[in-house]
Chain A
Amino acid sequence: MLDELNDLYQQVILDHSRSPRNFRPLASANRTAQGQNPLCGDNVTLYLEMAGDVIKDISFQGSGCAISKASASILTEALKGRTRAEAKALFARIHELVTTGETAGADLGKLAVFAGVHKFPARVKCAILPWHAAMAAVEGKDQPVSTE
């Protein structure tokens, strides 16, 4: 029982939820997108500075649970410097990871800590919400995205 909890709330996740990285508005942002979870009222805003096809800088703000906050924080580290295509490919793998617990391909690095989420179906939305918002920003969509 506590093993599964420790899988879900790995130290990296607890650390990022307490001290989120890139947790600020971004003055140079040319793309923003909001994510909302209507079940809990949580929200996240992603700020992206796109230089052509590349995510030059990225930050986030918002309020949420440990999972969603850590996911947003680690996401900003993972997506900085990536191209649009790379970001979308990474999203697909994260989606697979949090829903099935595994994903084929290269080592995901820090993102691998979210594998434990799949054992908690109610929490998958928390982990994936910032990714939906990031993808909306990459695509240049203005409408808030929702987990529903």
Chain B
Amino acid sequence: MTANPVSPQRPPAALESLRADFPVLDQTVNGRPLIYFDNAATTQKPLAVLAALDHYYRRDNANVHRGIHELSNRATAAYEAARARTAAFLNARSTEEIVFTRGTTEAINLVANTWGNAQLKAGDRILLTEMEHHSNIVPWQLLAQRTGAQLVYLPVTGDDGLLDLGRLDELLVPGVKLFAFTHVSNTLGTINPVAELCERARQLGIVTLVDAAQSAGHLPLDVQAIGCDFLALSGHKLCGPTGIGALYGRKERLEAMPPWQGGGDMIASVDFFESRWNTVPHKFEAGTPDIAGAIGLAAAMDYLDAVGRERIAQHDRELVAHAVEQLSRVNGLRLFGPRTGRAGVVSFLLNEVHAHDLVTVADQFGVALRGGHHCNQPLMKKLGVMSTARASFYFYNTRAEVDQFVAVLREIQKFFAQ
């Protein structure tokens, strides 16, 4: 027997073997092996998710909830099983707390248009943070325009990309009706202390909404431990299909909210001039839902739990630490976001090279990055830049890919210095 200590988790090399589950990764782009570093925009889909979609459309396709026949029964069972799977994924108290939506954006809009319309009045305040995605700003701006409520922002400290929690006592005060914030910044990679923020809000009776678009596929999530009233996620950022996401809402909150969209499925009964609403969560799901999407989402959640969400988080931490270390050795590179304790997202600028030029050249080397404002225009303004380049990782990315990416950045530097 050797004396090597046994790791409680499989080593990173075992995660690399999962690349075989993602056929899209096995291709060349512009003559180079694809390095897909745009995972904060959307993740790739494993065979298990493709198979779940394929099986549903080949064998079970039917409309849900109203049918009597066999296929409708199967489709309904699979769709509701996906809801139970999502509830378990988030450790919600019950399946009634999960509303399927098109994604994070629609989930936030749902809350703004139902809870917000019913609860907010002129002079009420909505507290956001300066690092929010447009999807967690614009729905609240529209709500503020409808109701006369005011938006207030918790500042970001600067390039190191932390929330200025020293300002919380002054900003999170009675009069604030909602505190909505992101779990993980899609630009800065900051991981916010969501449980602490929710606890602070709860002490003052302030409702909380967590944007989990960037965290749901990367970190273990427990809505009861976080203590939020609402949480929004997108399936396509956690190996699931596009067009499906979920809103978690505390049951008592959802029950007190008026419906949003009207139509089939969300009603208990309809008369010519008035209707009675279905129970939650169906009250918020008007019309035929994205049945296949929900089934694909459940398959993605099964896949992530089989890999192990703590292992995914560990891999993120190791890979981003390696990336930050390598990038900090590149002269002329300005790195945004915390140096430590960050998610697998790095935003940067390289000398005077514009992010779009950088991303165009990187693509010629097979490296898929993103360049722009990342739907964070207010944050860009705060940082004093128009745009950044961004690399974002997932568990199927490797240290070798990070090294190649950094080598490509040096090539880009040379190219624009010629």
Tell me if B357 and A42 are in contact (CB < 8 A).
no
Please tell me which one of the listed residues B31, B360, B361, B386 contacts residue A41 in the complex, with CB atoms under 8 A apart: B386
Please tell me which one of the listed residues B32, B353, B387, B416 contacts residue A40 in the complex, with CB atoms under 8 A apart: B387
Tell me if A67 and B372 are in contact (CB < 8 A).
no
Measured CB to CB, the closest approach of chain A to B348, in angstroms, equals 16
- The prevalent SS among residues of B at the interface is mixed
Tell me if A40 and B361 are in contact (CB < 8 A).
no
Taking CB atoms, residues of chain B closer than 8 Å to A63 are: 386
The proximity string for B residues 379-407 relative to A, scoring 1 for CB distances below 8 Å and 0 otherwise, is 01000001100000000000000000000
- For chain B, residues 349 to 369, give those with C-beta under 8 angstroms from any C-beta of chain A: 352-357, 360-361, 364-365
When A1-B31, A41-B386 are in contact, do A122 and B364 touch as well, CB less than 8 Å?
no
Instruction: Tell me the complex Cα distance, A120–B373, Å.
Output: 20
| A66 at the B interface (CB under 8 A) | yes
Measured CB to CB, the closest approach of chain B to A113, in angstroms, equals 15
| B418 at the A interface (CB under 8 A) | yes
Instruction: Tell me the complex Cα distance, A94–B415, Å.
Output: 26
The proximity string for A residues 1-43 relative to B, scoring 1 for CB distances below 8 Å and 0 otherwise, is 1101100110000100010000000000000000000011110
The proximity string for A residues 104-136 relative to B, scoring 1 for CB distances below 8 Å and 0 otherwise, is 000000000000000010110010000000000
Instruction: Tell me the complex Cα distance, A39–B374, Å.
Output: 9
Instruction: Tell me the complex Cα distance, A123–B353, Å.
Output: 15
Measured CB to CB, the closest approach of chain B to A35, in angstroms, equals 14
| B150 at the A interface (CB under 8 A) | no
| A144 at the B interface (CB under 8 A) | no
Tell me if A4 and B360 are in contact (CB < 8 A).
no
Tell me if B354 and A64 are in contact (CB < 8 A).
yes
Please tell me which one of the listed residues A1, A2, A18, A65 contacts residue B356 in the complex, with CB atoms under 8 A apart: A65
Tell me if A4 and B377 are in contact (CB < 8 A).
no
When A63-B386, A122-B360 are in contact, do A40 and B355 touch as well, CB less than 8 Å?
yes
Closest residue of chain B to A125 (Cβ to Cβ) is B356
Q: Number of B interface residues, CB 8 Å?
A: 23
Tell me if B364 and A65 are in contact (CB < 8 A).
no
- For chain A, residues 63 to 95, give those with C-beta under 8 angstroms from any C-beta of chain B: 63-67
Tell me if A65 and B380 are in contact (CB < 8 A).
no
Instruction: Tell me the complex Cα distance, A133–B82, Å.
Output: 50
Tell me if A14 and B364 are in contact (CB < 8 A).
no
| B371 at the A interface (CB under 8 A) | yes
Tell me if A120 and B356 are in contact (CB < 8 A).
no
Measured CB to CB, the closest approach of chain B to A131, in angstroms, equals 17
Closest residue of chain A to B352 (Cβ to Cβ) is A18
Tell me if B31 and A40 are in contact (CB < 8 A).
no
| B157 at the A interface (CB under 8 A) | no
| B30 at the A interface (CB under 8 A) | yes
Instruction: Tell me the complex Cα distance, A35–B386, Å.
Output: 15
When A65-B356, A66-B357, A126-B356 are in contact, do A40 and B373 touch as well, CB less than 8 Å?
yes
- For chain B, residues 1 to 46, give those with C-beta under 8 angstroms from any C-beta of chain A: 30-32
Taking CB atoms, residues of chain B closer than 8 Å to A122 are: 360
Report B's interface with A, CB cutoff 8 A.
30-32, 352-357, 360-361, 364-365, 371-373, 377, 380, 386-387, 415-416, 418
Report A's interface with B, CB cutoff 8 A.
1-2, 4-5, 8-9, 14, 18, 39-42, 63-67, 120, 122-123, 126
Excluding A14-B416, A40-B373, A41-B377, 12 further A-B contacts by CB distance (< 8 Å) are A9-B361, A40-B356, A40-B371, A42-B356, A63-B386, A64-B354, A64-B386, A65-B357, A66-B353, A66-B357, A67-B356, A122-B360
12 contacts between A and B (CB under 8 A): A1-B364, A1-B365, A2-B364, A40-B373, A41-B380, A41-B387, A42-B386, A42-B387, A63-B386, A64-B354, A65-B355, A123-B360
